[in-house]
Structure 1
Amino acid sequence: MSAAPPARRFPPPSGPPPTREELEQFLSNYALGRLQAFHPGRRGRRGRVITDAGQFWLVGPGMSDTFLEALLEHLAGHGLPVPTVVRDRDGRWIRPLGAYPGALVRWPEGRHLETFTPGDCARVGGLLGRVHLAGLDFVPSRPPHRSHQWRRQTAEALAPRLPTRERHLLNEEVRFQGLYRFGDLPQGIIHGAPNRRRLVAGPDGGVGLTGFGHACRHALLLDVAVAAHDCCAGPEGALDHGLVSALLKAYRRLRPLKAIERGAWPVLLRRAALDAWLEALTLGQDGAGARARVETRIREEARLQRCWVD
C-alpha cells in the first residue's frame, strides 16, 4: 500500500483570494470573454467566476493536479454528470494564477438538497455505482488525503481548543479508527467526500457530483458510507433505515456488495462522521452538529448492521 502523504498543518492553507488583476491576466489565456464578477467560496483561492461566456468554478491548490485532470476527463467520457475541464487556448488546464496554480471547470447544473427522499437517495446510490464502475479502468492513482496520519495530527492541533469532553471524544474516535485499514475490501477510485454540499439535483431529475478534490484509490464502500451518513439521516441525526436501504439497493444493482463489506459498514459510517467533524472544526465552524452525529453513530453502532441490504 502506498505511503500516506504528509499531513497538512492546521488550518489547511488556501492562500489569499486572487485579485481582479490576477484573474484578468489568468482569463486572458482563455476564449471566455471579459471577467464580470468573482464570488469567493469557502476557501480564498476557489470560487465562482462569471465571464461573458457564462459561469465557471475556479479551483486552486489541492484541487488542481494532473491526477484530477485525468480523472474528470475520464468520468466525463463515460457520460457522468461531473465537473468538466475547461482548457485555455494552448490546451492547458492548470495555469499560474498569481503565485498559485489555478484551473477552471464547468459544474453540473442543479441545486443542493436540504432533505432527501428515498428517490433522491436511490439516485445518489446509482450515481456512486456508475462512478465506481467507470473508475475500474482508470489507471492513475493517488493515496487518500485523509489518512490516519491526517486524522491524528489534525486532532492533535485541534485538541487545545476543545473542551475536555469533546477532546476526549475526538481522541478516542481517532484511536478507534486507527485500528482499521480496509485494505481487504474491494478497492477502486472513489470521490472521497460525496456529501450534500457536493451533490446537486439537476433540472432533469438526475443527480450530479462536484468537488473531486478528495478523489483517490480507496475502499469503494467509503463513498457509500459518506453519502449515507450525510444524506440518509433523520432530523435528529440517526440514520433512516428506509433512506439507507434506497441508497444501498440502487448502488448494489450496479456493484453487488461483498460479505466482507457488511462487517466494515458500521466502522466506515463512524469514519464518515469523524471526518465531517474534523472538517467542520478545521474550517472554523462550531462543529456541534457534526460532533453530535459522531456520538449518534457510536450509540447506534449495534443497530447499523440493520441498515444494510443483502
Structure 2
Amino acid sequence: MAVFTAVNETDLAHWMRHYDLGEVVEFRGIPSGIENSNFFLTTTRGAYVLTIFEKLTADQLPFYLELMRHLAKHQVPVPDPLPREDGTLFGLLHGKPAAIVTKLPGAAQLSPGVEHCAEVGQMLARMHLAGRDFVPYLPNLRSLAWWEETAPQVSPFLTGAQRELLESELAHQRAFFASDDYAALPGGPCHCDLFRDNVLFDPVAPGTGHTVRLGGFFDFYFAGCDKWLFDIAVTVNDWCIDLATGELDPQRTDALLRAYQTVRPFTKEEQRHWTDMLRAGAYRFWMSRLYDFYLPRAAEMLKPHDPTHFERILRSRLAGVAPLSASHTCN
C-alpha cells in the first residue's frame, strides 16, 4: 500500500534479526493503495511482503493475522503470516505493528472476464465456509457505525445532491440493518475488500485444459465479521461492472454468483435483499473514498481514489438491478 512509514537499510537489518529468513536480496515499497505501508521483500529463502500497519492497533492485529493462518491451513490460498523467532506473528517497527507474510504467486487481472469472475466466486464461498470455525471475533470496522461517524465529516465537502444521497442512503441502511431479515442473514469472517487488485491469477500451463487459475486472495486488513452477502456484494460491485459507468455486466455477475452457489447456495433472505446489500457495498466505499479524498493523511506515496466512481455505482444500484433468482441459483 502507500508508504507512510519509510524503512531504511538499518531499520530493515534490525527487523530481520527477529526472523530466520536468510539474507535480504531486494526490498522496495509498494505504491498502490492508501491504508498501510507495504514492501516487497526478497531474501535468499523466498519472496515475502512486509507490512507496517498505520491504523490497526496491536490489539486488533491478531484477528487479521490469525484469520489468514486459519484460512491457509484450510487450503484457501492467502498470504500466511510468518512467526518471529519468539513465536509471535508481529512486532513493532518505528513504534507501529508490523508483520511479514508469504507472497502469493501470479498477477492481478484488472480486466476480468467471465472465467475470472467464476474463479473468484467459487473461492469466496470456500473462504466463507472455511471461516465458520474461526473463533476470534472482530466486527467489520467500516460498517454502519463507521458510516454514521464519518458522514458528518465528509458532508461539508459535498454538493446539495450528494449530501441528500449520503443522508437518504444512510437512513435506508439503518432501517435495513435493524430488520429481522438482516439479523437472519448468514455471516462470519469476511474479506470486505475483495477488489480486482486484491486477487492474483497464476499463469496457466499449456495443455492443462484450464483458461485461468486463481493464485490467491490477499490484503485482509479490512476483514471483519459481517454478513456473507455483504462480502459478495462488495466483490460484485468491483469485478462485475463496467468501470466507466458502474453498471453491472450480466454475464460476469451471473458467472460469479453461479460459481459461488456451487459451494454455498443463497438463503431466501439473501435473495430478497440482494439490492439492499449491493447498495450497502457501494455506500461503504463511496464513504471511505470521500474521507480519503477530502481528509487525506500525508504519505510518501499516496494516490487517493476518485470518490465519484462509487457515487455512480450507488446511483446505479438505486435505479435497480436484477434480483437474485433461479437464474443465479444452483439449488
Q: TM-score, normalised by structure 1?
A: 0.87
In structure 2, C-alpha distance between the alignment counterparts of 1:191 and 1:243, rounded to whole Å: 20
Q: Is the 8 A contact 1:183 1:219 kept in 2?
A: no
**Equivalent position of 1:201 in the other structure:** 201
SS at match of 1:273: helix
Q: Is the 8 A contact 1:17 1:44 kept in 2?
A: no
2:36–2:52 CA contact under 8 A, matched in 1: yes
Give per-residue Cα distances to partners, 1:223-271, cap 9 Å, x unaligned: 1111111111135221122211111111111111111111111011011
Match of 2:43 in 1: 52
RMSD (Å) for aligned C-alpha atoms: 2.2
Which residue is equivalent to 1:178? 174
Contact 1:37 1:49 in 2 (8 A): yes
CA contact (8 A) 1:136 1:189 kept: yes
Q: Which moved more, 1:14-23 or 1:148-157?
A: 14-23
Aligned with 1:161 (options 150, 157, 160): 157
Residue 85 of structure 1 aligns to a residue in which SS? coil
Residue 46 of structure 1: CA displacement?
1.6
Residue 39 and residue 275 in structure 1: after superposition, are their counterparts in 2 closer, same or farther (change >3 A)? same
Query: In the alignment, what sits opposite 1:148?
Result: 144
Q: Is residue 37 of structure 1 aligned with residue 24 of structure 2?
A: no
Distance 1:52 1:185 in 2: 45
Cα distance, 1:291–1:44 mapped onto 2, change above 3 Å = closer
Residues matched between the structures, number: 296
Give the one of 97, 101, 105 matched to 2:93. 97
Match in the other structure for 1:210 = 218
1:255 counterpart letter in structure 2:
R
Q: Deviations over 1:252-295 (max 9, x none)?
A: 11111111111111011011111121222233233122211111
Following TM superposition, by how much is the alpha carbon of 1:149 offset from its aligned partner in structure 2, in angstroms? 1.5
Which residues of 2 match residues 1-310 of structure 1 at below 5 A?
16-20=4-8, 21-32=10-21, 33-34=23-24, 36-41=26-31, 42-43=33-34, 45-53=36-44, 54-61=46-53, 62=56, 65-181=61-177, 182-204=182-204, 205-207=212-214, 208-235=216-243, 236-284=245-293, 285-301=305-321, 303-305=322-324, 309-310=328-329
Q: 8 Å contact 1:192–1:223 — kept in the other structure? A: yes
C-alpha contact (below 8 Å) 1:17/1:40 kept by paired residues = no
CA deviation vs aligned residue, 1:8-34 (integer Å, no higher than 9, x gap): xxxxxx994133133332222123323
Does the aligned pair in 2 maintain the 1:273–1:294 contact within 8 Å?
Answer: yes
Describe the SS at the equivalent of 2:220.
Answer: coil
Q: Give yes or no for contact 1:72–1:85 (8 Å, CA) kept in 2.
A: yes
The whole-number CA distance in structure 2 between the counterparts of 1:45 and 1:245 is: 33
Distance verdict in 2 for CA 1:40–1:259, change over 3 Å: same
Instruction: Compute the displacement of 1:137 (Å).
Output: 1.7
Cα distance in 2, alignment partners of residues 282 and 307 from structure 1 = 38
- Give the secondary-structure state (helix, strand or coil) at the position aligned to 1:267: helix
In the alignment, structure 1 segments of 5+ residues that lack a partner are 1-13
Aligned counterparts of 1:44 and 1:213: Cα–Cα separation in 2? 9
Query: 1:34 corresponds to which letter in structure 2?
Result: V
How many angstroms does 1:50 deviate by?
A: 2.5
